[in-house]
Structure 1
Amino acid sequence: MRRLAALLSDLRLAIVLLLLIAVASAVGTAIPQGDPPASYIDAYAETPWLGLLNGDEVLQLQLDHVYSSGWFLALLAWLGLALILCSWRRQWPALQAARQWIDYKTPRQLSKLSIAETLPCDNADDSLQRLYGLLRSKGWQLNCREGRLAARKGIAGRVGPLLVHTGLVLLMLGAVWGALAGNRLERFLAPGRSLDLLNRLGDNQLTITLKDFQIERDAAGRPEQFRSSLELKGNQQAMDSEISVNHPLRHRGITIYQADWSLATITLQIGRSPELELPLRTFPELGEQVWGLVLPTRPDGTEPVLLSLKTEQGPVQVFDGNGERLALLRPGGEPSEVKGLPLRVASVLPASGLLLKRDPGVPLVYLGFAITLLGGGLSLIATRQVWAIAEGKQLHVGGLCNRNLAAFAVELPQLLQAAQ
């Protein structure tokens, strides 16, 4: 059992696990996560991912949901166990040992330390008392015995590695909890439309209504920022809020992100007909972010035309069945004749892409990050220890330091010089 514990807590094993988790995270970033299975089969049918994996293999290896896959969660559990065992077998005993005073009684014992000096002096006991007062004034902890003293400083640095391990374990527990118990929902909403979120009993938990959606564009017409004005209603309470890219909304354990945008509907007037609001759909075969609809121009459904556009500002291009462009329409502009019919585009309604996440592990993840940062900061504190023995007209001094020994080798002689 001890040999197994030693193997699991080995630093080299922890490094290998961290590298595997980093590689898996990179794969999860490179491959879209959570899409329908058919999309992976279509995407990697002709061009396998990295030239190695087709769509079926991506699904078999659970690369479509890396962060909630069984093998990724097993890696996190293995690393967490390794950190716990390392803390139990190494960091905790090291902290306990650092809190205990070591009493060196002979100069020969001090000579074996990393830094050791013997200073001639007129009265070693007086020099020892001056060294005691100097160290005390500089915040050192002291333990004195007759003719000798022990001092230490920076014991908090020994707590740092334990806190780092604790924070990492909490972070991984939060990530696993979120992966197993969290929910994710992505929807496109047009202004004035609502989305109802139900609890496990089927009751309405929260209603999200999109009041307004704006797309900010640069001088070249490229989108720079998306803003959604939302109204949230739940438990007879209502609140208004605005979200944008990189500025999500957190409400009652749910985080709402501004994720994407789309075009929802186009309002047309054909001849003297009333304005008709018709849904738009994407046409990937025409390019990225191209929306449109097929519109018949005859009562029997014959002679259809294709209306396509890329932004809510237009223009709307009209093509016949042979791919020849018949007209170019501007939203809110004048009508144009298409197949003998006046056709006018009244408006185009954009839709906001909202990503809703419920992750119960987020507080634990944040707590783990905070503890890890605190532990990392404490780990930078050097633990220094000094022993001094007065013997006749000689003061024997030795010291240890767990980091930056060169700086301590400069500091200790300065302390001794001030104590003479």
Structure 2
Amino acid sequence: MAVTNGRPGSASPNGRSRTERLLTFLGSVRFAIFLLSFIAATSILGTLIKQQASSEEYVSLFSEQGYAVIHIFGLDDVFHSWWFLLALVLFSLNLILCTVNRFTLFLKNRSSEALPKESYLSTLALTFFCQGTRLEEVQRLCRGYRAVLTSQQGVILEKGRFAQYGVFIIHTSILLILLGGLLGLMLGFKGSLNLPVGESADTITLRGGGEAARRSLDFSIRCVDFRVSFYENGQPKEFLSSLEVVENKRVVLKKDVRVNDPLTHRGISFYQATYGTDAAFEFVIGGKSVLLNEGGTFRQGSLALMVVRYAPSVHDFGPGVQVAYLDNGEPKAIWFLRDVPRLREQTIAGIPVKLERLTQQQYTGLEVTSDPGLWFVWCGFFLLMAGLYINFGFYHRRVYLIPRDNGVMVAGTSRKNREGFKREFERLKERIDA
């Protein structure tokens, strides 16, 4: 009867612990294929389903029940959902374990170089025998090859050793790209900022979050000037914003921002995205000057009013402003027309209200982004290009020289580009025979 020590279930029948089995599973090819399939499928869903839209838009597209399912599983923001980030982390862990295991085995094989048995070398497809030739002479004719093992039994020569590192460079580059992507998804943000000329702001509206989702900046951005030029057909040719970054009441950076030429400060980039005009309305209410924008409100005693909308032309009477107010608790609306004196000043709740002046205020529309993982992604892509170039542009090959009493046995092998190595090996044979 066999007797074993230790806790029950602490090791498998083959002697491996649970931790070892778990690490083997996490680093397996099967698990990698599952994760890649899951990431690809969910990415397709994230492309087909509109991301970060309003609940009303989802209900109109998929019904209330459909929106409930989408919201519960996070399909309205796939790429920021916890399960998508977890899949990326697990895939990164899988790639790390795979790379460590493979590199450890690679180093172990390099540190324990041994000459294969002659019986194995004689079975290789590329082999020949040099009659009456000394080993040193054959080794000298193997130009470009470096000796990695020299013994009385023979010599191992190799070329393109660095090509073996191509796959590890590729794995490292993918890890850098994944790290950059995770940092961007977890710590980065995208938003917008409409900034009137001459004004400054230190908060932005985050994309997909509505007006309530705002983010404060550690500095202020000021629009000094805005210019736009047009083609002859009226299409915008170029729009340019002159921006300043203000910290502690001091301008620390100035830049003219154009499309695809952003201002970047503290890792936050401001891109030129759009432009427009906002109307500002100066009212005199009860003898007091009040400046309101569209949607602005004013309350004084029994008077409560809100600017509903602005129209550049109201029934050909010129520009006007519609104002909503309460009359004994009942909502009403009235138009103030700038060019009609009788309708320019009216009485609301017993208080005279006059539209004093209409002004058009131009603003620049900026797209604001922050991606702390961007440099990791760029470095990863450059490293990936280098790894692919090494992996596919070069290949590792070996030549074995086995001395015999009447000559030297020459054998060669390569795991990649075997046709190319076959031609190289034939040229080597011709050189030695000559």
Could you say whether these structures have the same fold, taking a TM-score greater than 0.5 normalized by the shorter chain as the test? yes
- Distance apart, 1:208 and its partner CA: 0.6
**Contact 1:384 1:401 survives alignment (8 Å):** yes
Aligned Cα root-mean-square deviation (Å): 4.1
The partner residue of 2:177 within 167, 171, 180 is 171
Cα deviations by residue, 1:54-81 (Å, 9 ceiling, x for unpaired) = 4333322223332221011111111011
1:386 matched to 2:399 = yes
Instruction: Determine helix, strand or coil for the equivalent of 2:102.
Output: helix
Cα deviations by residue, 1:263-293 (Å, 9 ceiling, x for unpaired) = 3236899xxxxxx987458xxxxxxxxxxx9
Alignment-mate amino acid for residue 36 of structure 2: L
* 1:253 alignment counterpart: 267
Identity, in percent, stands at 27
Change (3 A) 1:167 1:204: closer
Instruction: Determine helix, strand or coil for the equivalent of 1:326.
Output: coil
* 1:75 alignment counterpart: 87
**Contact 1:164 1:371 survives alignment (8 Å):** yes
Alignment-mate amino acid for residue 267 of structure 2: G
Structural mapping, 1:329-368, within 5 Å: 348-368=360-380
Structural mapping, 1:8-407, within 5 Å: 8-29=26-47, 31=49, 33-34=51-52, 39=54, 41-48=55-62, 54-98=66-110, 100-106=112-118, 108-113=119-124, 115-121=125-131, 123-125=132-134, 128-135=135-142, 137-146=143-152, 148-196=154-202, 205-223=218-236, 225-234=238-247, 236-265=250-279, 279=293, 316=312, 318-319=313-314, 326=316, 348-380=360-392, 381-407=394-420
* 2:25 alignment counterpart: 7
Moved more, 260-269 or 3-12: 260-269
Instruction: Determine helix, strand or coil for the equivalent of 2:388.
Output: helix
- What CA distance in whole angstroms lies between the structure 1 residues aligned with 2:389 and 2:64? 43
Q: TM-score, with normalisation over the residues of structure 2?
A: 0.69
**Contact 2:279 2:310 survives alignment (8 Å):** no
- Distance apart, 1:399 and its partner CA: 1.9
Change (3 A) 1:78 1:12: same
Change (3 A) 1:103 1:305: closer
**Contact 1:385 1:401 survives alignment (8 Å):** yes
Alignment-mate amino acid for residue 111 of structure 1: S
Alignment-mate amino acid for residue 157 of structure 1: A
1:410 matched to 2:423 = yes
- Distance apart, 1:340 and its partner CA: 8.5
- Distance apart, 1:175 and its partner CA: 2.8
Instruction: Determine helix, strand or coil for the equivalent of 1:45.
Output: helix
**Contact 2:294 2:309 survives alignment (8 Å):** no
- What CA distance in whole angstroms lies between the structure 2 residues aligned with 1:208 and 1:74? 36
Instruction: Determine helix, strand or coil for the equivalent of 2:101.
Output: helix
**Contact 2:194 2:363 survives alignment (8 Å):** yes
Q: Which consecutive residues of structure 1, in runs of 5 or more, have no partner in the other structure?
A: 270-275, 282-292, 294-299, 309-315, 320-324, 330-334
Change (3 A) 1:186 1:219: same
Change (3 A) 1:219 1:9: farther
- What CA distance in whole angstroms lies between the structure 2 residues aligned with 1:205 and 1:378? 44
Change (3 A) 1:327 1:61: farther
**Contact 1:94 1:158 survives alignment (8 Å):** no
Alignment-mate amino acid for residue 136 of structure 2: Q
- What CA distance in whole angstroms lies between the structure 1 residues aligned with 2:85 and 2:277? 38
Aligned length: 364
Alignment-mate amino acid for residue 14 of structure 1: A
Alignment-mate amino acid for residue 173 of structure 2: G
**Contact 1:167 1:368 survives alignment (8 Å):** yes
Change (3 A) 1:105 1:190: same
- Distance apart, 1:250 and its partner CA: 2.2
Alignment-mate amino acid for residue 124 of structure 1: T
- Distance apart, 1:229 and its partner CA: 1.7
* 2:325 alignment counterpart: none
Change (3 A) 1:350 1:203: closer
Cα deviations by residue, 1:320-379 (Å, 9 ceiling, x for unpaired) = xxxxx63799xxxxx997798899x98744422223333433344344334433333332
- What CA distance in whole angstroms lies between the structure 2 residues aligned with 1:219 and 1:419? 76
- What CA distance in whole angstroms lies between the structure 1 residues aligned with 2:116 and 2:308? 96
Q: Which consecutive residues of structure 2, in runs of 5 or more, have no partner in the other structure?
A: 1-17, 205-214, 284-289, 297-302, 320-336, 345-354
Moved more, 169-178 or 65-74: 169-178
**Contact 1:118 1:394 survives alignment (8 Å):** no
Alignment-mate amino acid for residue 118 of structure 1: F
Alignment-mate amino acid for residue 383 of structure 1: H
- Distance apart, 1:26 and its partner CA: 4.3
Alignment-mate amino acid for residue 386 of structure 2: L
